[in-house]
Structure 1
Amino acid sequence: MELPRFTRPNQHNGSSSSPILYVANCGPAVGISHPTIAAVFAHFGHVKGVHAADDTGARVIVCFSEESSAQAALETLHGRPCPLLGGRTLHIRYSIIRPSISQPNDSVSVSVSASELDIPGLFLLHDFVNAKEEEDLLREVDARPWNNLAKRRVQHYGYEFCYQTRNVNTKHQLGELPPFVSHVVDRISLFPNTEDVADASLDQLTVNEYPPGVGLSPHIDTHSAFEGLIFSLSLAGPCIMEFRRYPEGAWHKFPLSIDLKMENSVNDSNYLRKAIYLPPRSMLLLSGEARYAWHHYIPHHKIDMVKDSSIRRAPRRVSFTFRKVRTDPCQCKFPHYCDSQR
Structure 2
Amino acid sequence: MADKRCGCTGIRCCLLCENRPKEIAAAKPSIQEEIWTYCAICRKAWSEFDPEQGMDHCSSHNGKYIEFNGITIIKDFVSLPEECCIITEIDKMPWKSSQSGRRKQDFGPKVNFKKQKLKTGTFSGLPPLSESIVPRMNAVEPLKSFHPVEQCHLEYVPERGSAIDPHFDDRWLWGERLVTLNLLSDSFLHFHYTQENDEAIRPKVRVPMPRRSLIVVSGDARYRWMHSIPRNAITSRRVAITYRELSEEFREGGKRYELGDMVLGIARTYQGQVVE
Partners of 1:161 and 1:210 in 2: CA distance: 24
* Contact 1:121–1:287, Cα closer than 8 Å, also in 2: yes
Q: Unmatched 5+ residue regions in structure 1? A: 1-101, 251-266, 305-311, 331-342
Q: How does 1:326-337 map to 2 (within 5 A)?
A: 326=247, 328=249
Q: Does 1:313 align with 2:262?
A: no
Of 114, 120, 145, which aligns to 1:199?
A: 145
Correspondent of 2:176 among 219, 228, 243: 228
- Per the normalisation by structure 2, the TM-score is 0.63
Change (3 A) 1:227 1:104: closer
CA contact (8 A) 1:152 1:210 kept: yes
Structure 1 residue 271 and structure 2 residue 202: aligned?
yes
Residue 295 of structure 1 aligns to a residue whose secondary structure is strand
For 1:1-342, list aligned pairs within 5 A: 105=32, 108-113=35-40, 115-117=43-45, 118-150=67-99, 151-160=101-110, 169-172=118-121, 174-192=123-141, 194=142, 197-212=143-158, 213-247=161-195, 249=196, 269=200, 271-301=202-232, 313-314=235-236, 316-326=237-247, 328=249
Change beyond 3 A, Cα 1:173–1:190: farther
CA distance in 2, matches of 1:210, 1:166: 30
Q: 1:168 to 1:298 in 2, by over 3 A?
A: farther
Which is worse superposed, 109-118 or 288-297?
Answer: 109-118
Q: How many residues align?
A: 198
Which of structure 1's runs of 4+ aligned residues deviate more than 4 A?
Answer: 102-107, 164-168
Unaligned 5+ segments in structure 2 are 1-28, 46-66, 252-276
Cα root mean square deviation, aligned: 2.9
Q: Is the 1:241–1:276 contact (alpha carbons within 8 Å) kept by the matching residues of 2?
A: yes
Q: CA deviation at 1:116?
A: 2.5
Give 1:325 shift.
3.3
The structure whose Rg is larger is: 1
What letter corresponds to residue 232 of structure 1 in structure 2? Answer: T
